[in-house]
Structure 1
């Protein structure tokens, strides 16, 4: 850990307001609490307020996670003088309204992925971020897996051309929490709230990782989507009338359960993707392999501190994948943590995310991933849906071309 003793004055504070208190709200809370205790930051994040619609629940969550105040209206949180940054951790159907209002109110914004439920919403958010950037504000998307040290190290090795020009990338993200057909109809299974299913929930992560690691956008896709369980029990207290099968107490699933698609990167490299919430035995299995002309890199989230590297220039007699334990002080983010070999976990990605955002705010630099990056992911997701609707017809992806002087809204792949 870094030496926290200093004779200098404490850094200025950055008041954070969090909207949403469920799974992601808890993860972000952990990140904000931890970042200032581990990293020497030029601004000190202060947990000013948390917002949620249920007064008792949000007050309890605020107390549990260390937030000073609780609000039941997100607008009241945005209006608070002690909040300079708004962190959005609510379903996708509310992202655009909240983010645009917060940016227009002069706040910095962190928004969970996917950026929005549609390309049109993502475009409006990116335009708002561009306007805000001219005033010195920043807006970032919460693709936390970029902050896994092993993945950040892989990006460094690819940028250094350790594996040469890319040939193909393979990414899968599999979960099994929807295998039971009696699992209830939550908001993540409703298109009007979630935008899409496994595609947006899991696929957004691996699309972002493909573009981040490659340093270039996807320019076209060919896809298939499937919903295996088309009706599910309603949550307690919810009524939708008779179901399509003639019963009551069930409602339609309006998003995909699984998505599979191929893609082409701007350089011509090929990509394959698989996202599913119907893969028995896979709890949170994110895997990737990047192959180039000189070698390959591989990563498995269940072995989060390890990166596999194969140098194809070595003699066949000794060649093979070698394990890099990504815990050395010169690996990404590790300068602030424990001695080598003392591994990190999932929750640390949110502390790294908070650290990177605070550094961007203090330096007045473009954050990564920016809202423009989130928009580019949204365009890929839309192209996947269009391709699947046309039975896997190859569908081009419009690539964001920043206008001269676009500044902070520029894509930072």
Structure 2
């Protein structure tokens, strides 16, 4: 694994837990974690359960005990690491968004396609697909329970940089992160909506906004909650909020909102889908529940049904706890690891593929172009 901060901890938890709860055809072994700072990486290896520590990711490519490279680094490093790993014959799991540009994502998708011909697999980490309630939503849409889809409403709301004194971090610098709320959290709801519908966005009209344009410089190595230094301020070069309209290939209309300025909202992901025969609604703040409206029922008794998605027949749930004992944020990462291991063992491409990640990257780029030109843009 390359990178050991927030996502590195989540991925490590997944690799530790997956073979202990799921019957896997291959058993993951946590061989080595890589970071830039020797002392911090060695401490992370001990804390997170990795056998060895490296400070140069290129060293991983020559190690015989590494068959999978898990990339949990800022977006500006994804393409170089992923392409090199695939060309070295290593399977790759790469955090989202896939890259910082469509060009980089295209290079990565091309490399993944070439690698697949040699049995080497690649997956992009749109983890919310693995929340059982979201997987159930996709199943209901695929079964035709909603009929023809008319509307998609999706929000991802956070508030971690509302305070203007919050320090500048890599997530607020375009050269490292690619974009702000749009790519960091907007990418998740784009993928989730397309996943649930089994459809893609083909046209967007959007606007981006940066509310705080200068922030205190962060102390060295500061992350999401790093402390500010006394070295002055630096420019914020990404968006704080992104809003856009979307048209899906199948005819549905979508409204999307991603912001890190929704005061009081910590990690609120909300998706509602309206079709000719019914509706679905999901809120990550109540992540074990899916609301379903069956429009074919008699109007006298019809209403939204609250489905607690913890039954053994629900996606992934049978490996965990008795019905009614809810899952949490970390479980979706475990499901991601499980799906990747099973795909590698079956010699099939896992999903979402790098091609799926490229498609999301094209949506993000179209939103940026639309915001700049104030016109609709094709994806």
TM over 0.5: yes
- Residue 66 of structure 1 corresponds to which residue in structure 2? 49
Q: Distance in 1 between matches of 2:57 and 2:213?
A: 33
Given candidates 173, 176, 181, the residue that maps to 2:164 is: 181
- Residue 408 of structure 1 corresponds to which residue in structure 2? none
- Residue 96 of structure 2 corresponds to which residue in structure 1? 113
3-state DSSP of counterpart to 1:35: helix
- Residue 326 of structure 1 corresponds to which residue in structure 2? 309
- Residue 360 of structure 1 corresponds to which residue in structure 2? 343
On the 8 A contact 1:175/1:277 being kept in 2, the answer is yes
- Residue 293 of structure 2 corresponds to which residue in structure 1? 310
- Residue 207 of structure 1 corresponds to which residue in structure 2? 190
- Residue 29 of structure 1 corresponds to which residue in structure 2? 12
In terms of mean alpha carbon deviation, does 117-126 or 248-257 score higher? 248-257
On the 8 A contact 2:270/2:282 being kept in 1, the answer is yes
- 2:230 counterpart of 1:261: no
In terms of mean alpha carbon deviation, does 336-345 or 257-266 score higher? 336-345
Q: Distance in 2 between matches of 1:119 and 1:206?
A: 18
Given candidates 124, 131, 139, the residue that maps to 2:114 is: 131
Matches within 5 A, 1:30-45: 30-45=13-28
Matches within 5 A, 1:330-345: 330-345=313-328
3-state DSSP of counterpart to 1:130: helix
Cα deviation digits, residues 267-308 of structure 1 (max 9, x gap): 111000000001100000000001110000000001010000
Cα deviation digits, residues 70-113 of structure 1 (max 9, x gap): 00111112221100000000000000000000000000000000
Given candidates 344, 351, 369, the residue that maps to 2:352 is: 369
Q: Distance in 2 between matches of 1:234 and 1:83?
A: 37
TM-score with structure 2 setting the length: 0.97
3-state DSSP of counterpart to 1:101: helix
- Residue 333 of structure 2 corresponds to which residue in structure 1? 350
- 2:378 counterpart of 1:396: yes
Kindly report structure 1 stretches of 4+ aligned residues shifted beyond 2 Å: none
Cα deviation digits, residues 313-334 of structure 1 (max 9, x gap): 1122211101001011110001
- 2:61 counterpart of 1:78: yes
TM-score with structure 1 setting the length: 0.89
- 2:268 counterpart of 1:281: no
**1:237 deviation in Å?**
5.6
Unpaired runs of 5+ residues, structure 1, are 1-17, 239-246, 398-413
- 2:144 counterpart of 1:161: yes
Cα deviation digits, residues 214-243 of structure 1 (max 9, x gap): 1011000000000000000001369xxxxx
Q: Distance in 2 between matches of 1:232 and 1:79?
A: 41
In terms of mean alpha carbon deviation, does 141-150 or 314-323 score higher? 314-323
- Residue 411 of structure 1 corresponds to which residue in structure 2? none
- Residue 401 of structure 1 corresponds to which residue in structure 2? none
Given candidates 221, 238, 242, the residue that maps to 2:204 is: 221
On the 8 A contact 1:102/1:109 being kept in 2, the answer is yes
**1:148 deviation in Å?**
0.1
**1:248 deviation in Å?**
6.5
3-state DSSP of counterpart to 1:324: strand
Q: Distance in 2 between matches of 1:390 and 1:315?
A: 48
On the 8 A contact 2:217/2:231 being kept in 1, the answer is no
On the 8 A contact 1:226/1:257 being kept in 2, the answer is yes
Given candidates 142, 159, 171, the residue that maps to 2:154 is: 171
Q: Distance in 1 between matches of 2:332 and 2:357?
A: 18
On the 8 A contact 1:176/1:282 being kept in 2, the answer is yes
On the 8 A contact 1:50/1:77 being kept in 2, the answer is no
- 2:362 counterpart of 1:379: yes
Q: Distance in 2 between matches of 1:335 and 1:361?
A: 22
Aligned length: 371
